Amino acid sequence: MSSSSTTSNNNRISDSVFPTSINISLFITTTFSSSAANNDNNNEEFKPLIKSFRKACHAEIQVINANQEEIACWYDYGEQYIECVKALIMS
């Protein structure tokens, strides 16, 4: 299996099985914008909380993406392993 087909298979697998992006930012924006709009006086008070929440969401997205990439790599490894075994049996 060539590297270009491997890359295309990894993209195919990750696109079909796993969502490629998680839209938590919409939730963050909607939740905190509406609460901040209602409480302009408390806006400064909530900034550290908002920053921490966004940072945690970003870290979670990175972990999810890393896990998806790992699963795709193991899947690709398994496919290549099977091809090698088939080639050994045929020779």
- Residue pLDDT, tens place only, 50-79: 999 999 999 999 999 999 999 999 999 999
**Greatest mean pLDDT among 28-32, 39-43, 71-75:** 71-75
What pLDDT score was predicted for residue 40? Answer: 59
User: Given this model, what pLDDT does residue 1 score?
Assistant: 43
Pick 27 or 1 by higher pLDDT: 27
* 19 φψ region: left (φ > 0), alpha (ψ -120 to 50), beta (else): beta
Distance CA 44, CA 54 (A): 16
